[in-house]
Amino acid sequence: MTRRALVVSQPGVIGILERPTLAPGPEEVVVRPAYCGLCGTDLELRQGDVDPAFVTYPLTLGHEWSGTVEAVGDGVRHVTPGDRCVAECIVPCGQCENCLEGQTNTCEVYDELGFTREGGASDQVVVPARLVHRLADGVGLLDAALVEPSSVVFRGLEKAAPRPGGRVVVIGDGTIALLAAHLIGLWSPREVVLVGRRAEQEELALAVGATHFTTDDAEASNADLAIEAVGATVAIETAIRATRRGGTVVLLGLPPTGQTVELPADLLVNNDLTLAASFGYTSAAWARVVDLLSAGKIAPGRLVTHRFPLERFEDAFAVLAAPSGTRGKVLLDIAEEATN
């Protein structure tokens, strides 16, 4: 028996391969993914642009997915076959100092599905049971496919500790920026300004929670909280300059390996800025996002603009790489029953 898997065999070489089917070991769960999101990082993984310390080829892609439990190994009690679920893709060791303090995103042993282990762009994926979260009955798998990027954003926002009633400026117009505009609503801001490059993102930005969209960098100003969601050094500078005295800057985007940024050093001190940067998500942030989704407090599925069957992965990557056109989240439909 085989299953399909979207594999980057080596940088630049990608295709759907037949792989042996999976069976769960003790304390493991095998999930049948319904949807698998693709993001800019997948493009970089495909091209070989990710820091080699964080990737092992050949690589089955997929670090943003939702699905249904197919089989559970010995000792697994909290989920059973048929349960709809999501799973944290960062696999923390649970033993190191960072893990014990709850900072599972900076575990001393980096290990992540879709980077160093097989990911969810496949008919099956195997995950340690402790990372699997069952979804409440009313939660759609489409919304759930965005738990991963939502957790990345949520963790950064928590670290920035936004105060209610603030003016929030988001730099960027991609999925992370749009999710930031959506999730910051949990902290009741007065205004949420999205400063983007692509005018065609305006409608989507306003639909998910931004109060204003602009392509004019001059409007990036007077922010109580500035959120950098591009992953470009120039955007980091824009975010810092956009922040009012006493305000906070949070960096969510990951710039290309090895780049340095020039900071207006006097501004940082004179303006009494707080600077936060956030990597990935903690287990606690992930659990919180699942709770918020279950409670109907967030609806990240609104960001989905494109869906392709797994076989059409090239079309999905083409949309991701396109310089223009409205684009929110791009998903691969994996299971035939992926209808909700």
Q: How far are the Cα atoms of 118, 149, 222, 226 from residue 41, in angstroms, in the given order?
A: 15, 11, 31, 23
Regarding 150 and contact with Zn ion (CB under 5 A), the answer is no
**Complex with Zn ion: residue 99 or 220, whichever CB lies closer:** 99
Regarding 273 and contact with Zn ion (CB under 5 A), the answer is: no
The residue among 139, 87, 62 whose CA lies nearest residue 298 is 139
DSSP for residue 213: E
Contact of 19 with 115, CB cutoff 8 Å: no
Ramachandran region of residue 157, left (φ > 0), alpha (ψ -120 to 50) or beta?
alpha
Among 16, 93, 284, 287, indicate the residue that binds Zn ion (CB under 5 A): 93
Closest distance to Zn ion from the beta carbon of 258 (Å)? 21
- Does 179 bind Zn ion (CB under 5 A)? Our answer is no
Count of residues making up the chain: 340
Nearest-5° Cα angle at 106, 105 to 111: 75
Nearer to Zn ion, 248 or 282 (CB): 282
The one segment of 32-40, 67-75, 166-174, 307-315 that binds Zn ion by CB under 5 A: 32-40
**CB-wise, 5 or 330, nearer to Zn ion?**
330
41 binds Zn ion (CB under 5 A): yes
Name the segment binding Zn ion (CB under 5 A); options: 68-76, 102-110, 218-226, 292-300: 102-110
Q: Which residue has the tokens 């960072």?
A: 98
Q: Does 107 bind Zn ion (CB under 5 A)?
A: yes
Question: Interface residues for Zn ion in 158-177 (CB under 5 A)?
Answer: none
- Exactly one of 96, 206, 268, 319 binds Zn ion (CB under 5 A); that residue is 96
What is the largest distance, in Å, between two alpha-carbon atoms of the chain?
Answer: 64
Q: Choose one: 100-108, 155-163, 179-187, 246-254; the region binding Zn ion (CB under 5 A).
A: 100-108
Q: Is 43 in the site for Zn ion (CB under 5 A)?
A: no
Helices (H), the chain: 40-47, 97-100, 141-144, 147-160, 175-183, 202-208, 233-242, 265-270, 283-294, 313-321
Tell me how many residues contact Zn ion (CB under 5 A). Answer: 7
Residues that bind Zn ion (CB under 5 A): 39, 41, 92-93, 96, 99, 107
